[in-house]
Amino acid sequence: MATGVRIRNSSGTIQIDDQYFNYAIIATGQLTLSLPASGSPYVAASATVRFAAQSPMIAIQSPNGNAVVGAVTPAGAGLWDVTILGGAVAVTYFVLDQCPQQGSHGVGMRLRRASDQKITFDSGFYYPKVVFAGTATKNDMAAASYAVICAQGGGYMNAGAQPPNNYEYITAYRTTSTGVIVSNDQPLRAWGAGISMVAVNARFLMLDVSNVFT
């Protein structure tokens, strides 16, 4: 880079320069997943929330049962809808996105990219730390507050005429104070024509979000 700022860590590695880009937590909230009117225990509960973002990723924290992000879809005018699936539990969600260009409030530091003057770092937002990436249960971490970035993990079908057979199951996640428990036994819906099955255990990222609420 010709001019600007470089920030190095204790090992001398450049962490921030004119090409810096990272996702910050720009919003968080809680949803309670609700079963459909049928009340079948073999159909996933769900909830949907809408928010403004540029190109978001969603992390979830679900200490009381299984949950997974089912879909993140554009709703127009810079809005997005996220649907979370799982058991009938309360879920905390975290919206990760590029720094909002209006910036945060209060005193701190902002860095702009020289090429387009966009804010690429704002100390008013929290930048979560990725502490693990994998496909299987990881529940032996140091005690902290963890969340998971994940995709709907496909699943499998049980064949037969009666529940729990002839239903589709998906991979979902339960967070604990020491990590993430992965389950392949979260019911999704009755099996019907056109359902395409993929391998279970989608890859996930575990985030330490302990400082988000401090």
The whole-number pLDDT of residue 19 equals: 72
Structure confidence at residue 1 (pLDDT): 47
Stretch among 19-33, 64-78, 97-111 having the lowest mean pLDDT: 97-111
- 173-199 per-position pLDDT tens digit: 999 999 999 988 788 877 665 555 555
Give the whole-number percent of the chain exceeding pLDDT 90.
Answer: 44
Closest CA to 168 of 160, 154, 157: 157
- Picking from 44-58, 82-96, 147-161, 190-204, which range would have the lowest pLDDT averaged per residue? 190-204
Q: Give the chain's mean pLDDT.
A: 84
pLDDT confidence tier of residue 163, bands split at 50, 70 and 90 = low
Q: What is the mean pLDDT of residues 134-155?
A: 86
For 105, 127, 131, 160, 162, the CA distances from 200, given in Å and listed in that order, are 42, 29, 22, 20, 23
What gap in Å lies between CA 85 and CA 1, rounded to an integer? 45
* 164 or 172, which is more confident: 172
Mean pLDDT computed over 47-71: 94
Lowest model confidence (mean pLDDT) among 91-105, 124-138, 148-162: 148-162
Residue 83 confidence class, pLDDT cut points 50, 70, 90 = very high
Cβ-based neighbours of 104, under 8 Å, separated by 6 or more: 122, 123, 124, 125
pLDDT band at 140 (very low <50, low <70, confident <90, very high): very high
Instruction: Compute the C-alpha angle 199/203/206, nearest 5°.
Output: 150
pLDDT digits (tens, 9 = 90+) for 15-57: 777 677 788 999 999 999 998 877 677 788 999 999 999 999 9
Q: What is the pTM of this model?
A: 0.84
pLDDT at 106 over 80: no
Query: In which band, very low, low, confident or very high, does the pLDDT at 110 lie, cut at 50, 70 and 90?
Result: confident
Domain ranges across the chain: 21-128, 130-208
